[in-house]
Structure 1
Amino acid sequence: MPTLNAQSGIAIKPGSALLFVCLCIAPLLAGVAFAGADLAADSLRLEATPGQLIGEQEAARLGHILDPGEPLSWEVYLPVNDSEDTPGVLVYVSPRAEGKIDPRWKSVMDSHNLIYIAANDSGNKIPTVKRMLMATMAIRALAQNHAFTIKRIYVSGFSGGGRVASRLASHYPKVFTGAIYICGVDFWKEKQTPSVDHLLRNRFVFLTGSKDFNRSETSRIYRKYLKAGATQSKLMVIPGMRHQLPDDAELAEALRFLDGAEQ
């Protein structure tokens, strides 16, 4: 598996630790796509420190969350297809220490023209704020090495990772235009959600199984989303599925909904 080292990013304006997450992505919002090195392999690992990505000064301000010199890494899968369109991105938050893509999902990334990226060492034992920073830094790291469209950046996660994904989606609705919550989700806290109106325009999939112990909670929060006005939400209860990842067909159905191709 090839390894790519991200180069230094631009300096970020001062802000709070949570606001930093949004500021880290803000430079990406200036254009439709970012071009980088031509990556031949479909699977790779990106590596960088916070200091390399956002500058040493800003990284030092966040030292209580991430050491400026801490080596971070992300697993990446690049879609293999003949599409001439710039791919989108699926940022995945794993409950485990490893961020590698489920092999069943590769064909879905291919057919939906999505780059998969997930942080390593970002499992459920890691503090939520740190996991959020690592997930958003994934976009910054990826932008330096490959092209993608900012109009189609989705976030997803499984179990505890789904809860983190739901926080990312509600905190940064202008960045993540769609989300798939797999067997784990939290409802947003209005005081911590900067733009509820924008959030309500996005699309959300609540994916659980008929035998998932989190099914009732997932269904309850789905109903809360609808009641709050997030009408572009879909509940998927997979027959016989326990607390586990969905297969390729089920993930594809969820992505079709995010893309607006299926109601």
Structure 2
Amino acid sequence: MGRPLGRIGNLEVRLASSDKEVAAAQEVRYRVFYEELGARKDASQTECSDADRFDHICDHLIVLDTSLPGAAHRRIVGTYRLLRQEQAVASGGFYSESEFELPGLVARHPDKRFLELGRSCVLPAYRSRRTIEVLWQGIWAYVNHYDIGVMTGCASFHGTAPAAHAEALAYLAHHCRTEEAWDVRAVAGRYHAMDLVPANDVNAKAAIGAMPPLIKGYLRVGARIGDGCVIDHEFSTVDVFVVLPVKQIAERYVSYYGAEAQRFAA
């Protein structure tokens, strides 16, 4: 799947097809997570690259600005890391299971193929609806190609204090929780409650407005949120868990993204 999976204007989305492109995606992640958002750099980390043991088993979805000069790896402006269930099982598990009880959820749905979405980031100049839409074109083409049944993954609020996001977290807890069949909980010892504000005191408009664009985007397409949040001190974030069964994606988005992605998913 090295060919294009989607395109809007000068933005093209596809899978990284070389070590150079994966390294360039890791550099974009470093610029966003470490230089911009203040993730904590390990003492042994000398390169300007965000990399871990999962990268070699994942597919790396990349957005390229085709109007920029130079080789393809120099045109990468956004990225998403995709970990399919088969690769996770063969390599010791999913990234997010250190924070959430994902293995239990997977075990309850043996007929579904899971996909973990992670390490989503876009360079500041490209943080627009158009970039998000081209990323979703790529994800939808990928989901159809591999017959994915469920998308999951962590999504983050900046900082390490859940109370700083009390209203937004409470809105998710009161109005956006997973159904029982898809419920998943933060792991014991890392669990932090999200219902920090009573349901009647939550201002929905303010709460939604305070959410990161990625979380709002997930909610728009029909995703639900697991039980509890987790503080990730390495990346200085408060993480929630997103669950999105493919059959529950809002019909208007299936029609919208599907019509575009069908050109690329064959």
**Structure-1-length-normalised TM-score:** 0.33
Q: Which has the higher contact order (CA 8 A, sep 6+)?
A: 2
